[in-house]
A and B are shown apart, each in its own frame.
Chain A
C-alpha cells in the first residue's frame, strides 16, 4: 500500500456520482465488493500508540504502519492472533517492535469491517493503470451497521505514474480533497470507547510550587493509588507480568513517598501506612520473583553452552508450575479482608481535606521548598556514600547505595513538574545510568542465590534433574563472571555521576533557595 492517496467524500456523495463523473474521461470496470476484517492491537499501556505505531491484522498477516501514514513499514505472516513478541515469526517487524513491546501482551482493541469496492481504471489496451477503491468501514459487521468512515482510495499501479497524476487532478477538480491529517485509528478508538495513551505507569503529576506540602503529597499518593487500582483489577486475568509489576512499583513508590516526603502527615499515620504497604508488597514477592526468572528464560539459555541449553528445561518447568500456584495465592490474598481494609482506610485518608492547624511540621511548607531540600539532601548522601564505596567496594554497601538511589529517583519523579523539564530529565537519565549498574549487580547477586536454592528444591529423582543441576551450575558460573565485570564498572559509573559539573546543576536547582521562595 505505497503512495495510496486517501480522499474524503462530500456529504451528499453516492457511488454512482463518482463513477458517473469519471466515466466521461476513463473506461472504468467495477469489481465485486470485497469484505475485509482488520483488528487493531496495542498494549495496555499504549506502547505502540506512544511511538505513533499502528499494528493491525488482516487475514493471516500482521501489518505495521505509522499514525497518519498509509505506507506499510513491515508485514509478517502469522498463524495465530498476536499476543507476545516472542510468538511473532522472525521478521523485520519483530525486530522493529522488540524494544517497544518487550514483555507486554498485545490486546485487541477493536475489530473493523471494511467493504471495499474497487474500480479499475483502464487504458485503451484495457490494462489497469490505477485503482479507485471505495471503502466503507464499520465497527460491527453487516450492511446495516452504522458506518464509521468512508474513504476513497486512489491506488497507483507501478509504471503508470502519469495516469495516476491525471486522475488525482481530476478528482481534486471534482471537489474531492486529499486527506493527510486524518487517521481512522482515532474514530475506531472512539467507537471502542478507548482513549489512546490514557494509561501509563509513568508519573505524570502536575504540582503547583506554592502548594502546601501535605496537599501536594496527597496528589502524588492519589495518583499512585489510581495506578494500583487499575492494575489490581487486571491481575486476575494474568494477561502479562506487567500488571503485577506496575502494581508493585506503585506500592513501593507509595511507601517511599511516605518515608521520604518527611513530616507532612502525623507521624503515627505515616508509619502505620508504611507498614501496611510493606505488607501489601510482600503478598506478591514470590510471584514477582518467578515472573522475573521466567522472563529471563531465553536470556539464561542464551548464555549457557549449547550442549546444556535443553538440560535446564526442568528448572523452568518447575518455576512455571510454582508460578501458577503463586498467582492463585496473590489473587486470593487480594481478596482478604485485611487488604481491602488497608486500601479503604488509605483512600479515605487521602480524601480527607488538609487540616488546620497543620498536623505536622512540614505540612504547610510550600512544596517547592520541601522538594528542593529532600532531593538535595538525598543527592549529597548518595555522593558521600558512593565515595566511601570507591575506597572499599563491599557488596552490602553497593546494595545499600542502590536503595538510596531509588529513593532519590522517586523523589525526582514525584516533583519533576516543579523544575525545568530539560534539566530534571537530564538528571534523571544520569541517575538511571548509575541505577542500572547497581541494579544489574544486585540482580546477579540475587539470581545466584536464588538459583543455588532452587537447585536444592528441584526433585532430584530422575536423570533429567541431575542434568539440570549441571546446567544451573554452569549458569551460576557465567553470572558470577558477569557480576565481577559489572562491579568493576561501578567506579567509572559513579565517578561520572558524582562529577563536578553534575554537582553544579544539582546545587543550582535544589540548594538553599528556601529563603527566596518562602512567603
Chain B
C-alpha cells in the first residue's frame, strides 16, 4: 500500500481538489484507493456526496480497526472508497494527546487498511501541530500545493525548517504549483525561483480555473465530469509527474 498526504500548513491552496482528483485518477487506473477526509470542514466528503459522519465519531476513528471500516463508504466510482470526515475530528489534536506515543497514533489507525487498498490518500486540514506530526509519521509521501506567492513560499520554508528541527525526512515532501495565474508575472518568476532553489518541486501546475470551482456544484471530481478539460489534464499531468518522481516505475 502506498500512502500519500495532501498537506499544507496554509489554507485555501487546493489540497482538497487535488486529493479528490488524484484519488479518482488513481482509482480509474486500477488502484484500489481510499481517500480519507481528515478535515472537519469535510469538503472532500461533500464532493463525493457522502454524509460527513463517522460511525463512532473521533473516538471510533482513534480506535481504528473495525470501527473505521464500518464508516468507509463506496463512492460512485469503481475502486474508490471514502472515509468521511466528521465534525468531531476538530478535536483530533486533543484526543491524540491522551494516548501513549501520541505522534504515531495515525500510523496505527491506517495499518489495518493496508491489505485492502493499494493507495490511501489523506486530505488533511491546515495544521502544524501534533496532527501534522502524526501525518508525517504515517505516510510515505507528502504532497504540498504551492500558490506562487511570497506568503506561500514563506510557509513552505517554515514547513521545511519544522521538519529539519523535528527530524522528519524532508525527502518525502513533494510540492506542486496550485491556483496558478499564467498572466501574473510574479507567479512565473516565483515558480522559476522555486524550481531552482528547492528539491522535490514537481514540474507540474494546476491553473486557477473556474472549472475546478465548479466541483462544488457538480459534486464530482473535475476529472469525472469534464474528463477532457484543461483542469482534468492538469491533474493527470500532476499524477504522472508525482509518480515519476516518487517511484522509478510510474505505477502505483
Contact = CB atoms under 8 A, between A and B. Distances in A.
Do the two shown chains form a genuine complex with each other? yes
A158 B76 contact: no
A160 B73 contact: yes
A397 B76 CA distance: 71
**Interface residue tally of chain B, by bracket?**
10 to 19
A125 B74 contact: no
B118 to A, nearest CB: 12
A158 to B, nearest CB: 4
Of the listed residues B48, B49, B51, the one surrounded by the most CB atoms of chain A closer than 10 A to its CB is: B49
Interface string B54-71: 000000000000000001
Contact of A157 (B30, B51, B71, B73): B73
A160 B74 CA distance: 8
Contacts of A158: 72-74, 81
Nearest to A156: B74
B50 interface: yes
Contact of A126 (B30, B49, B74, B81): B49
A127 interface: yes
Interface string B72-101: 111010000100000000000000000000
A120 interface: yes
Contacts of B81: 158
Interface string A158-182: 1110000000000000000000000
B219 interface: yes
Contacts of A159: 50, 71-74
Nearest to A61: B30
B136 to A, nearest CB: 29
Nearest to A158: B74
A2 B199 CA distance: 44
A333 interface: no
Nearest to A161: B70
Contacts of A125: 49-51, 219
Interface string A119-141: 01000011110000000000000
Q: Does more than half of chain A's interface fall in helix, strand or loop, or is it mixed?
A: loop
A157 B79 CA distance: 11
Interface residues of A, number: 11
A148 to B, nearest CB: 26
Contacts of A127: 48-50, 76
Contacts of B76: 120, 127-128
Nearest to A29: B76
A127 B71 CA distance: 16
Contacts of A156: 74
Contacts of B73: 157-160
Contacts of A128: 76
Contacts of A120: 76
Interface string A383-401: 0000000000000000000
A116 to B, nearest CB: 13
Contacts of B71: 159
A127 B76 CA distance: 7
Nearest to B50: A127
A69 B50 CA distance: 31
Interface in B168-216: none
A156 B81 CA distance: 13
Contacts of B30: 77
B226 to A, nearest CB: 17
A506 to B, nearest CB: 51
Nearest to A128: B76
Contacts of A126: 49, 219
B225 to A, nearest CB: 13
Interface string A216-237: 0000000000000000000000
Contacts of B74: 156-160
A158 B71 CA distance: 9
B128 to A, nearest CB: 32
Contacts of B48: 127
A157 B50 CA distance: 12
A118 B104 CA distance: 43
A156 B161 CA distance: 47
Contacts of B219: 125-126
A158 B50 CA distance: 12
A301 B57 CA distance: 56
19 contacts: A77-B30, A120-B76, A125-B219, A126-B49, A126-B219, A127-B48, A127-B76, A128-B76, A157-B73, A157-B74, A158-B72, A158-B73, A158-B74, A159-B50, A159-B71, A159-B72, A159-B73, A159-B74, A160-B73
Interface of B: 30, 48-51, 71-74, 76, 81, 219
Given A77-B30, A126-B219, 20 more contacts: A125-B50, A125-B51, A125-B219, A126-B49, A127-B48, A127-B49, A127-B50, A127-B76, A128-B76, A156-B74, A157-B73, A157-B74, A158-B74, A159-B50, A159-B71, A159-B72, A159-B73, A159-B74, A160-B73, A160-B74
- Counting from the closest, the 3 A-B pairs by CB-CB distance are A159-B73, A158-B74, A127-B49
Interface of A: 77, 120, 125-128, 156-160
